[in-house]
Structure 1
Amino acid sequence: MCSCSIRCCFLYSLIIFSFIYYYNDVVVDNIVFEEHHLVEKYSVDTKGCRMLTMVPNDHDLMFLWRGLRRDFCRSNLNLTSFSNCTYNYLRTEVNMEFAKARYGVETLESFKCMYYAMERHTDFDNRYLYSREFELLTDGNNTIEPHADIIRAECFINATSIYNGVHFYVHPTDEWLRTAQGLPPLKLASDVGSLSVLIVGLDSISQMHFHRSMARTANFLLSLPHVELRGFHRLGDDGFDSLMPLLSGLSGQELKDVSANLTSLDSCPFIWKVFQKAGYETGLGEDNIDKSLFVKGFRKPPTDFYLRPALLEMWLKTRTDGLFGTHCNEKDNYAMVLREFLFKMLPHHTEHRFFTFLWWTQGIDHLFNYGRKLDQPFLKMFKAIGRSGLLKNTVLLVVSNHGLNKGRFYKTVQGKVEESQPLAILCYPRWLEERYPQAIGNLKSNNRRLVTAFDLHATLHNLPNLTSLEDEQLQQRRVDIWTMGKDIPRGISLFLPIPDHRDCFLAAIPTANCLCQQPRNVSTSDGYVLRAARLIIRNLNKMIHTHTPPCKTLYLDRVLTADKWRRIADDHQSEFRVRLIATPGEGQFEGIVRYTGYKLAVDGHITRVNDHRNGSQCIRNYLIERYCFCP
């Protein structure tokens, strides 16, 4: 009876143990944890930083894709504005059949229209100048007095407002004012010793999400001579902290300290001042008032072309709230207003060297799908810039501050990693490769180095004077940097090779934002280690079972050693190097397994560490024999 009970207990124990092993090896590994395949291993792989890649269109994100309702801003009348060298115009186009059906009018005289001219007073209010009546025309232009930069047009029928919209004009740079400010004459666009700069900024869009949601725009940019900075890191928690290193060379906190006792930002060292002193005309525009990067504002207009006064008039007098947190000025949302600002600057930019910074926020700063709505308009915008010939002598930088940090996507592992991977694509004229091959060679080699906005700032300083890109100067500057060792500056021009030993500390990247992997100790009995070992065994069995005669199925005997690499701040991504013994045959194998949340993948080849001797004599395939144990 006693021996029977012992046998029963042993049998039950064996069944329970088998169930537990099956549960761990099959149920958990294949249901809770999902195996996937890597397209490429690392975005950065240097002595100082190893940064893992991710899959941009993982099927787990498909549940987030959905169509957005059309967020057209509506207008009852079609009024547009434009100017030439002498006059400003307000163009009106009225469909009389529509007007008759909608308003019951027979002639355009039934409409009473006025425009009110404004000018900038401060960054927080405008000054009223005068008002004039104007006529609606079925298809024609009303001449607006030439010194009006901003007008608000309003039309009524029987004292009921049917149109209320702001229009603005972009006039040539005032050369007399530049002279009075002690600035040099403007450089012509034909100047061979410099390049113009256009920075297009997109709030809260990561490298991957740009390709995911704005694919057509991305493909167009990648068709130009370009470098996409795969190791570009965020530097702060918000747009200000992330972008001030680009625009000023200072960290967000440093600029806050500098401006703490100031009433405005006029004296801060913004990069456009460097270009102004080099003979460039400058432009600055954002598509919002309430989320501006420059909260304190400027006492004087900071640049030659400045959108804020016109946008402020829209915000205070004509704003209607659209869908998805956007705002409208009659038929245009503010993103389109900023695009119009760029188009109105283009005739001036084709005449002179320029530096322009434009920043888009509305919609894309919090909605996963909103980039898709901007894809076609941005594609048209970049194509129009290309047709203008501007890109032949311009460096185009498309950049963001960080990835999405709101919504359902941000709560995923992929979202949390992408938050620290902002977009940075730098497009340059093709002739630059021929004239400065070493500089462009360095730029290309930096596409997989650890870089930040501090480096972009240092790069911009080279563009007003291209002699800094000549081989002799680059070689001397390179020697200077290498002799610094661990004391390298946090901002290094991308026309120089970024040192291989640079890590997040040397690049001034906050620990919470650092995506570089660091080695950590881990036990061979750790659950993730054992799961990685079982995945290696499964992959070996897949290989050997595809050949005949079949090899014996391998099982995990034990793990010999394990190493772990992970981010400093969290475990969203990690890698394990595992050496194990498989049975039968006592083969020792080593492989690397990557975890991204609940996804795992074998990274690279699985190697056999010990000699396979005569255990694989039944196999004639040299690729398989090292893994095989014959029956």
Structure 2
Amino acid sequence: MKTRRQKGAAHIRWPFNHSYAMAIAELELLSAFLPEVKVAQKQYGKEHNFSKPTTGTGCVRPTLDINDAEISEFLKSVSPLKCASEPNWITTRGGKLMLNGKAIEQYGNIQCNIVPFEFVDDFTVRTFNHSLVTNNTSVPTDFFKAVCTAPNGKNYTNYHATIVRKQDSQRKVVQMAGFSRPLNIYFLGFDSLSRLMFMRKLKETYKYVTEVLNGTVLEMYNIVGDGTPAALLPILTGKTEEELPETRRSQRNASFVDAYPFIWKELKKFGYATLYAEDMQNIGTFTYRLKGFKQQPTEHYLRSFYRQVDKETHRFNQLCFGSELQHRVQLSYVEDFFTTYPREQPKFAFQFHAAYSHDDINAVERADGATVEHLRFFEKNGFLNDTLVVVFSDHGCRYSSIRRTKQGKLEERNPFVSLILPTWFKEVYPNAVTNLRKNSKRLTTPFDLHATLESLWNFPPPLLGDLANRGISLFSEIPPNRDCTNADIPAHWCSCLSWKKLPKDALVVWFIANELVKAFNGRLKQQEKLCSMLKLHSILEAYVTQPTDEYVAFVRPKDVDGRQPLFGKRVNMRFSSYVVTFVTTPGNGTFEATVLSDCTEQVLHIDLDSVSRVNAYGSASHCIMDKDSYLAIYCVCRDML
């Protein structure tokens, strides 16, 4: 059944009198949405859900242009990274260390010591005593530091990762209904890439996924919240952070994220070996605001590798390990995982790359070639014959100048997601593949990816998905009348809308922005000794959003294939949303907020969960991070002034 968020909201009653309403009416763009009516006296309780009502009309999105002029001006080519020209002296595979033959040929008898290290918890790494190793030596842990010396005194120091097969991962494989043996599941993810940005910057990967591997791209995939945790948690748990146990580091009785019902816990019961890997450990998905893992979550877990490297080198997110690109090191770790474990043992791997795209959207093109080679490795070695591969991103750009364009706002809500199936899947399960293709043009969410994974346990799922469930398997047909409400997409993140720009000096815009700042300060008063109160500085832009004419007039498909729409009479909508981008002082914080206007009741609803910080706040909120991380986007620490 559908699980709904429990949100608190502030409710601001419009301060309309006759003259103010007449002034607003002069703004022709707004007149249809803010009629001159009396102020309603009805009061709402804090627990009320102010989602827009279900229309049953489906989702129609604004057309996005891959060559949009506003976005194109921010795009540029970057030069390839140059790592060390001399090949690494050490390679690894299947838990073994091997000396590079060319290095031996050039330098002779190379002596190497290694310092193995491993996970204790997400913030602690255990190191072992160094040991002298020879060529083709088994190593005790997945990670080690190598220090080697050649007879001529030349030195080599580097960090290496490999897969040391865990004894406790050799589980009995439990058959899943519908498959002779369970499918491998592999998620390959990138940070901050919209669907169109993936196509712009990872051109060869996109071409390989869609043309060579016949992958299906979910064109109408929509995020359900802000940031990476809001993107990954619904995939991995089927729930939002608010619905899960409290794990924020700022909360006294918070649990570790071990308490979450991660999908790999269920998969282990079916005999899966498991792996989780993400770079940028300093801003990790489960550790930046949350308490992280107390116990290692998967048999192979890359966080300790990056944690130790960053600690010893005093450099975050170095992009080369000797002669090898950091991106390639992480991809190789997954390749090693698939080759080290027996072919008959099912595998779950989830890896996420942020180092190339989190801070500079142009830099991600450096990963294009290596990603294609990685996918080609899976194809050539036959792993795609028994693996469901999901190549995806969490969201589009959040902080760059691109995000401040109209199209950039929409692209943020539409990340890249594609599914690659074994070639035999279409023959054995034609209906499931047909449904997946249909769903590529329908509104989908991270909840659907989770439901898709769960459907593998008892395959195939029902032919038609049920709108009563917010998560629907992508192998079931998603009803064409699905909208943001029954998909549980908050209005702020719903892209099934038309956007009309408003004058920045419109009274309604300033009123909304000022009320939002008041709401911010109401929250900041909890930490008034640490955080400064905010003032409205300026308005950058504002839009009013409503469903498109096609959205509200759609009745049903006209033809049996669902290609021709049938439209009826346009329906007047009770609700419209305003999206306002504004700057506060001190600190010059830039915020984008969506507020809901009830055009019948003349009430404005403010929900602080529908506010995004669209410029980085850096260390300005350092004083609050460990006390109340939710205030970080608003707080300007008094000691920074």
TM-score interval (norm. to shorter):
0.5 to 0.7
Conserved? CA contact 1:208–1:418, under 8 Å: yes
2:260 corresponds in structure 1 to 268
Whole-angstrom CA distance in 2 between matches of 1:445 and 1:46:
18
Deviations 1:476-495 (A, max 9, x none): x75xx36xxxxx12111122
1:306 corresponds in structure 2 to 301
1:513 corresponds in structure 2 to 493
Whole-angstrom CA distance in 1 between matches of 2:471 and 2:144:
43
2:322 pairs, out of 313, 316, 330, with: 330
Whole-angstrom CA distance in 2 between matches of 1:159 and 1:318:
25
Cα displacement (A) at 1:402: 0.7
1:241 pairs, out of 223, 230, 239, with: 230
Deviations 1:121-155 (A, max 9, x none): 222222232222357xxxxxx13344343221124
Q: Sort the Cα spacing of 1:392 and 1:96 in 2 relative to 1 into closer, same or farther, 3 A.
A: closer
Which sections of structure 1, spanning at least 5 residues, go unmatched? 1-44, 100-106, 136-141, 483-487, 523-560, 573-631
Cα displacement (A) at 1:519: 10
Cα displacement (A) at 1:413: 2.1
Matches within 5 A, 1:597-612: none
1:57 corresponds in structure 2 to 67
Whole-angstrom CA distance in 1 between matches of 2:228 and 2:409:
17
Conserved? CA contact 2:141–2:164, under 8 Å: no
1:354 corresponds in structure 2 to 347
What TM-score, normalized by structure 2, do the two folds share?
0.64
Whole-angstrom CA distance in 2 between matches of 1:59 and 1:375:
24
2:446 corresponds in structure 1 to 453
2:218 corresponds in structure 1 to 229
User: Aligned with 1:242: secondary structure?
Assistant: helix
Conserved? CA contact 1:236–1:252, under 8 Å: no
1:91 pairs, out of 90, 99, 103, with: 99
User: Aligned with 1:197: secondary structure?
Assistant: strand
Whole-angstrom CA distance in 2 between matches of 1:201 and 1:459:
17
Conserved? CA contact 2:451–2:473, under 8 Å: yes
2:130 corresponds in structure 1 to 131
Whole-angstrom CA distance in 2 between matches of 1:275 and 1:350:
16
Q: Does residue 254 in structure 1 map to residue 264 in structure 2?
A: no
Cα displacement (A) at 1:563: 9.7
> Highest Rg: 1 or 2?
1
Conserved? CA contact 2:125–2:304, under 8 Å: yes
Cα displacement (A) at 1:258: 6.3
Cα displacement (A) at 1:253: 2.4
Cα displacement (A) at 1:187: 6.7
1:400 corresponds in structure 2 to 393
Cα displacement (A) at 1:75: 6.9
Whole-angstrom CA distance in 2 between matches of 1:290 and 1:75:
28
Q: Sort the Cα spacing of 1:70 and 1:227 in 2 relative to 1 into closer, same or farther, 3 A.
A: closer
Q: Sort the Cα spacing of 1:349 and 1:454 in 2 relative to 1 into closer, same or farther, 3 A.
A: farther
1:217 pairs, out of 196, 205, 214, with: 205
1:115 corresponds in structure 2 to 114
Q: Sort the Cα spacing of 1:267 and 1:333 in 2 relative to 1 into closer, same or farther, 3 A.
A: same
Give 2:195's aligned amino acid: Q
Matches within 5 A, 1:519-558: none
1:491 pairs, out of 441, 454, 471, with: 471
User: Aligned with 2:113: secondary structure?
Assistant: strand
Matches within 5 A, 1:83-232: 83-84=93-94, 88-93=96-101, 113-134=112-133, 142-155=135-148, 162-174=155-167, 177-178=168-169, 184-185=172-173, 192-223=180-211, 224-232=213-221
Q: Sort the Cα spacing of 1:125 and 1:258 in 2 relative to 1 into closer, same or farther, 3 A.
A: closer
Cα displacement (A) at 1:186: 6.9
Whole-angstrom CA distance in 2 between matches of 1:433 and 1:77:
43
User: Aligned with 2:78: secondary structure?
Assistant: coil
Q: Sort the Cα spacing of 1:149 and 1:570 in 2 relative to 1 into closer, same or farther, 3 A.
A: closer
Conserved? CA contact 1:517–1:565, under 8 Å: no
User: Aligned with 1:395: secondary structure?
Assistant: strand
Deviations 1:550-590 (A, max 9, x none): xxxxxxxxxxx999999845499xxxxxxxxxxxxxxxxxx
Conserved? CA contact 2:175–2:182, under 8 Å: no
Report the identity percentage: 27
2:333 pairs, out of 341, 366, 381, with: 341
Cα displacement (A) at 1:273: 1.1
Deviations 1:315-338 (A, max 9, x none): 2224646xxx65443333432221
Whole-angstrom CA distance in 1 between matches of 2:307 and 2:83:
18
Whole-angstrom CA distance in 2 between matches of 1:271 and 1:217:
27
Give 1:133's aligned amino acid: L
User: Aligned with 1:502: secondary structure?
Assistant: coil
Cα displacement (A) at 1:79: 2.2
Q: Sort the Cα spacing of 1:389 and 1:69 in 2 relative to 1 into closer, same or farther, 3 A.
A: same
Whole-angstrom CA distance in 2 between matches of 1:441 and 1:191:
19
Q: Sort the Cα spacing of 1:186 and 1:75 in 2 relative to 1 into closer, same or farther, 3 A.
A: farther
User: Aligned with 1:266: secondary structure?
Assistant: helix
Cα displacement (A) at 1:313: 2.3
Give 1:453's aligned amino acid: P
User: Aligned with 1:386: secondary structure?
Assistant: helix
2:361 pairs, out of 360, 368, 371, with: 368
Which sections of structure 2, spanning at least 5 residues, go unmatched? 1-54, 503-569, 582-641
Conserved? CA contact 1:126–1:313, under 8 Å: yes
Paired residue total: 452
2:282 corresponds in structure 1 to 290
Give 1:500's aligned amino acid: P
Q: Which moved more, 1:287-296 or 1:58-67?
A: 58-67
Whole-angstrom CA distance in 2 between matches of 1:338 and 1:565:
50
Conserved? CA contact 1:81–1:168, under 8 Å: no
Q: Sort the Cα spacing of 1:566 and 1:330 in 2 relative to 1 into closer, same or farther, 3 A.
A: farther
Q: Sort the Cα spacing of 1:359 and 1:566 in 2 relative to 1 into closer, same or farther, 3 A.
A: farther
Q: Sort the Cα spacing of 1:418 and 1:78 in 2 relative to 1 into closer, same or farther, 3 A.
A: same
What TM-score, normalized by structure 1, do the two folds share?
0.64
1:440 corresponds in structure 2 to 433
Deviations 1:96-139 (A, max 9, x none): 99x8xxxxxxx656x7642222233222222232222357xxxx
Conserved? CA contact 1:154–1:163, under 8 Å: yes
User: Aligned with 1:313: secondary structure?
Assistant: helix
User: Aligned with 2:100: secondary structure?
Assistant: strand
Conserved? CA contact 2:173–2:345, under 8 Å: no
User: Aligned with 1:154: secondary structure?
Assistant: strand
User: Aligned with 1:340: secondary structure?
Assistant: helix
Whole-angstrom CA distance in 2 between matches of 1:55 and 1:565:
30
Give 2:494's aligned amino acid: C
Q: Sort the Cα spacing of 1:94 and 1:288 in 2 relative to 1 into closer, same or farther, 3 A.
A: same
Point out the structure with the larger helix share: 1
2:419 corresponds in structure 1 to 426
Whole-angstrom CA distance in 2 between matches of 1:320 and 1:290:
11
Conserved? CA contact 2:70–2:405, under 8 Å: no
User: Aligned with 2:129: secondary structure?
Assistant: strand
User: Aligned with 2:397: secondary structure?
Assistant: coil
